[in-house]
Structures are given as C-alpha cells and as structure tokens.
C-alpha cells in the first residue's frame, strides 16, 4: 500500500513536469497550478510524513529481533574490547605523567608494534567464520580439527612475526625520531614483541568460543587481565610497595604478564566448562593437517593483510608526525588512544556481525543474512554518531586527562575533532569488512586495503601535511580519505557477493 501511494504521488509530479516542458504552459495556468500546489503541499507533506513515519516504525519493529541477536553477541565483545582500549588509555595516562618524552616514546614503540600485532590478530580471525559455519552445520569432528590446527597456525605465524619484529628493532634508530625518544622506546618494544605469542593463543581461544556463540567468557577474562595490567602498571611504573620505578619499561613488563595471564585464565575456564573441554580432549596428532592449516591461512592471511595495511597507515603516519617534534608526537598519541577506544567498540559490533553472518551462510538463510547485516550497520551508525559528537564537544577537555603539558593539550584538541569526523567512515569500513569475513570472501580485501590505505591515505596525508603545510592536522585528514574509500569498496563488494549467492540459490 505504502509503495503504491508513493508511486502515485511521483506519477502526478512527473505528469505535471512533462506538461510544463512539452506544452510551455501560459502564465495563467502556471499561476493556477502554483496556487493549487501551495494549497495541496501542506496536506501532501503531512500525508508523506505519516506514510514514511509508519514505514519507519514498521521497519524498526522488523529489525528489533535482529538488534537483540546482534547485541547479545556484541555487548560482551564490546566490553572486552573497550576494556582493552581503556587499559591502553590508562597506560598512556600513567606514562604521560612521567613526561612528554616518555609519552612520545610510547607512541613511537606502540605504532611500530601494532603493525605486526594487528596482523597477528587478523590471522586468528580465520577461526570464527570457519567454526561458525561448521557449528551451524553440526560438524563436531571438523570443529575439533579447525580448533586444533588454529593453534598450530598461530604458533607458526606468531614465531615468524616475532622474528620480523626483532629485525625492525635494529632499524628504530634510522626512522628519523629524536634520540631520547628512541632510547626509551627500544626496551619497551622488546617486551611488547615477547607478548605476541601468548596473545595469539588467547585470540584463538577467543575466536573459537565466540564462533560457538559464547562471548561472555572472553569479556570476563579480558576485564580481569586488564585490571591486573593496571595494578601492575601502578606498581612497576612508579615503584610502589618496594618495587623499583621502571617507568615506561615497567609498563611493558605489566603488559607481558597480563597477556600470559589471559591464556592461563582461558585454559582454566575451558577446564571448568565441560562442553569446551570435550573439544580439547578430542585433540589428536592425526588431526594436524596441512590442508586445514592452508585453509586457515587462505582466510587468515588476507584478513591479517587488510588489518596490517590499515594499521600500517597509522604506523607510517606516526613516524611522519615524529618528524614534526616530540610535542606533536605526544598529542598524536592522545588522539590515537581516543580513536582506538571507539574502534574497539566498532570491532565488537563487527565481530558479532561476522558470527551471525557465518551462521546464516552455513544455513543458506538469505533473509537472516540481509537482516543481520542491516541491523549491524544501524548499530554502527548509531555508535559512531554518538562518539563523533562526544569527541567534538569535549575536544578541549579530553587531552587534559592524559597530560598537564599545555602545548600537548593545545595540539591534541584539533586532532580529536578529526578523530570524531572519521568515525562514520571507520565504522562503515569495519562493518563492511566483517560481512566479507562472514562470507569468507577475504582475498579481495587486501587489494582494496592497499588502494585505500597505501595508495590514497598515506600520499594524501603527506601532501596535506608537508606540501600544503597543515602539519599533523593534514596527516589525520588523510585518514578520512583512506577510510571512506575502504568503506565504499567493501560495501560494493559484499553487495555483489550476496547477489551472486542469491542467484546461485535460485538456479
């Protein structure tokens, strides 16, 4: 009924426009039509508002079950992700109180470390769609095989990433940073590298149980480990309770201990949960299969590659910011922390979307898939709109949480505005990538990420910063271009893939 009324209104307008163009209406007729339009337009507008409001209400009521399903999975993931992001913020606040050089060193080390670290997390994300699809199809034996080989894959890739990171360590002096910053950053960087492997094992556990629909345990473990991290930071950074004051190095020790604790807590949780322990008890040497590891690599490497390219843009941007000076680098760290917090929440919704889509894909339920995707995008749009408004509104106060240096506060405020402005693009690219992961259509993501982040983001950032002269603000503007491009490319790709899937099901 509603589309029919809309079509009638459009048809009447189209007819009037054709008459106007073809017959060159005289002034009297024009005046008559104009008077009629003035008389009718309030009624038509009111009628149209009622129609669209009714349609929106109906649409909202249709989506409520899907919002609930997505949020049931997403909320624990969001809480665990944001908890991790908040720990990074607390780290930054504590380190920031040591001084501007220490804050700049943390920014430098973290930006380089995150390139390999985020790639390692992306590798383990192959577990979720594969286990989710197998779980929907009730293939218990195959789930065990995937779980077991996910650990083998994580071990191989984790060791490789750690070795490459140690190679990067020897080139930190050649990246154009100030000597005092590099001297503090290098020992901290070593501790972060060592923490990669335990975190990868934790991530495999996390992706596995989330694919089975349980996201609460990862949330609880993340929160406990993060509280441990904060406590250890306080003790080791500032030298409390008889411990030495290790400064930034103490923050690295705290991070390493908390990440080892995460995997130990997950093993304990699995031992206490009969349904999970059954999978671990079913591990056999015979289940280590090259074919399964290759399958995990064929999905994990593109996912990791896409995330690697995105975080590389941030890492290279941090190096460029370091060319400007220590104050700017410290301000950049503040802005990056705020971007990370909101992105952690976005990733929670995106991860839930991947789980829901992998279930629907396993059952070949296209309606469930469409509704889950749209519900996820609605939630992301709501979240990013709220965070954008908050960041812009409190841009002058947020930096004060991290530092008392007035120059850093003054430099960070406009950067936080830019963080707010790219929230929408960041949310849409993350939700688009989540859909492609759920469909296991991941190989093209690397190409799209390369175009968006390497070919567009970094050159635009350099041009605006050093050619136009916008300095650090130009570097952050580059992210708006890169993230927007990625959002569009991912969107059109998954729309195409779903259309192909629907066509194949009809044949």
What pLDDT was estimated at residue 344?
81
pLDDT digits (tens, 9 = 90+) for 492-503: 998 898 888 888
What pLDDT was estimated at residue 164?
94
Question: Which of 228, 175, 169, 220 minimizes the C-alpha distance to 194?
Answer: 169
What pLDDT was estimated at residue 59?
60
What pLDDT was estimated at residue 319?
85
Mean pLDDT of 466-481: 90
The structure tokens 């908890």 sit at 83
Mean pLDDT of 224-234: 90
Alpha-carbon distance of 436 to 122, in angstroms, equals 13
pTM of the model: 0.72
What pLDDT was estimated at residue 140?
79
Could you tell me the sign of the dihedral formed by the alpha carbons of 383, 386, 392, 394, in that order?
Answer: negative
What pLDDT was estimated at residue 30?
39
Q: Nearest 10 degrees: CA dihedral of 76, 78, 80, 85?
A: -170
Q: Radius of gyration over alpha carbons of the chain, in Å?
A: 26
Alpha-carbon distance of 156 to 417, in angstroms, equals 41
486, 313 Cβ separation under 8 angstroms: no
Q: Is the per-residue pLDDT at 148 higher than 90?
A: no
pLDDT digits (tens, 9 = 90+) for 168-212: 999 988 887 888 889 999 999 999 999 999 999 998 988 888 888
> Would you kindly state where each structural domain of the chain is located, as residue ranges?
76-506
Kindly report the average pLDDT of the chain as a whole number: 81
What pLDDT was estimated at residue 9?
40
pLDDT digits (tens, 9 = 90+) for 64-110: 888 888 888 888 878 877 776 666 677 777 887 788 888 888 888 88
Q: What is the largest CA-CA distance in the chain?
A: 95
Question: Which of 90, 76, 334 minimizes the C-alpha distance to 226?
Answer: 90
CB count, 10 Å around CB of 37? Answer: 12
Distance of CA 429 to CAs 347, 381, 483, 485, 501, Å?
Answer: 10, 11, 7, 8, 22
Pair of tokens at residue 31: 């005046």
What pLDDT was estimated at residue 60?
66
Higher-pLDDT residue of 258 and 288 is: 258
Alpha-carbon distance of 277 to 294, in angstroms, equals 25
Q: Is the per-residue pLDDT at 4 higher than 50?
A: no
CB count, 10 Å around CB of 506? Answer: 6
Q: Is the per-residue pLDDT at 411 higher than 70?
A: yes
pLDDT-based confidence at 286, cuts 50/70/90?
low
Q: Is the per-residue pLDDT at 506 higher than 60?
A: yes
What pLDDT was estimated at residue 84?
66
Mean pLDDT of 385-406: 88
What pLDDT was estimated at residue 166?
92
Mean pLDDT of 107-127: 86
What percent of the chain stands above pLDDT 70?
A: 86
pLDDT digits (tens, 9 = 90+) for 13-62: 444 344 344 444 444 443 443 344 334 444 444 444 444 344 445 466 77
Alpha-carbon distance of 429 to 488, in angstroms, equals 7
What pLDDT was estimated at residue 507?
66
Pair of tokens at residue 338: 């705020």
């Amino acid at each position: 009924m509603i589309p029919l009324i809309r079509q009638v209104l459009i048809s009447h307008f189209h007819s009037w426009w054709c008459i106007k163009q073809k017959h060159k209406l005289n002034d009297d007729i024009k005046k008559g039509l104009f008077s009629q339009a003035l008389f009718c337009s309030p009624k038509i507008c009111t009628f149209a508002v009622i129609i669209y409001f009714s349609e929106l209400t109906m649409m909202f009521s249709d989506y409520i079950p899907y919002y609930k399903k997505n949020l049931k999975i997403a909320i624990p993931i969001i809480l665990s992700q944001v908890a991790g992001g908040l720990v990074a913020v607390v780290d930054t606040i504590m380190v920031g109180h040591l001084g501007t050089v220490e804050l700049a060193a943390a920014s430098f080390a973290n930006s380089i470390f995150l390139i390999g670290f985020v790639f390692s997390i992306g590798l383990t994300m192959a577990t979720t769609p594969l286990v989710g699809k197998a779980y929907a199809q009730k293939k218990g034996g195959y789930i065990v095989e995937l779980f077991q080989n996910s650990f083998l894959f994580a071990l191989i890739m984790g060791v490789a990433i750690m070795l490459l990171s140690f190679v990067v360590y020897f080139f930190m002096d050649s990246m154009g940073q100030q000597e005092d910053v590099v001297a503090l950053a290098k020992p901290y960087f070593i501790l972060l590298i060592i923490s990669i492997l335990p975190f990868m094992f934790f991530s495999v556990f996390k992706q596995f149980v989330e694919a089975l629909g349980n996201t609460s345990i990862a949330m609880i473990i993340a929160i406990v480990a993060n509280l441990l991290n904060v406590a250890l930071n306080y003790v080791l950074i500032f030298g409390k309770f008889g411990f030495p004051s290790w400064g930034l190095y103490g923050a690295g020790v705290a991070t390493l201990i908390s990440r080892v604790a995460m995997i130990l807590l997950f093993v304990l949780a699995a031992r206490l949960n009969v349904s999970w322990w059954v999978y671990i008890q079913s591990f056999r040497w015979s289940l280590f299969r090259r074919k399964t590891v290759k399958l995990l690599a064929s999905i994990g490497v593109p996912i990791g590659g896409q995330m690697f390219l995105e975080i590389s843009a941030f890492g290279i941007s941090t190096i460029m910011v370091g060319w400007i000076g220590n104050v700017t680098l410290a301000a950049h760290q503040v802005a990056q922390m705020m971007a990370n917090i909101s992105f952690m929440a976005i990733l929670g919704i995106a991860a839930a979307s991947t789980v829901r889509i992998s279930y629907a894909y396993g059952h070949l339920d296209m309606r469930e898939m469409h509704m889950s995707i749209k519900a996820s995008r609605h939630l992301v749009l709501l979240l990013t709109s709220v965070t954008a408004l908050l960041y812009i509104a409190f841009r002058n106060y947020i930096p004060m949480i991290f530092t008392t240096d007035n120059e850093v506060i003054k430099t960070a405020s406009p950067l936080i505005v830019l963080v707010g402005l790219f929230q929408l693009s960041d949310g849409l690219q993350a939700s688009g990538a989540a859909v492609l992961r759920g469909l296991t259509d991941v190989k093209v993501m690397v190409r799209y990420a390369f175009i968006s982040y390497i070919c567009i983001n970094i050159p635009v950032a350099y041009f605006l910063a050093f050619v136009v002269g916008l300095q650090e603000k130009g570097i952050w503007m580059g992210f708006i271009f890169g993230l927007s491009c990625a959002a569009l490319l991912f969107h059109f790709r998954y729309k195409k893939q779903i259309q192909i899937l629907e066509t194949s099901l009809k044949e």
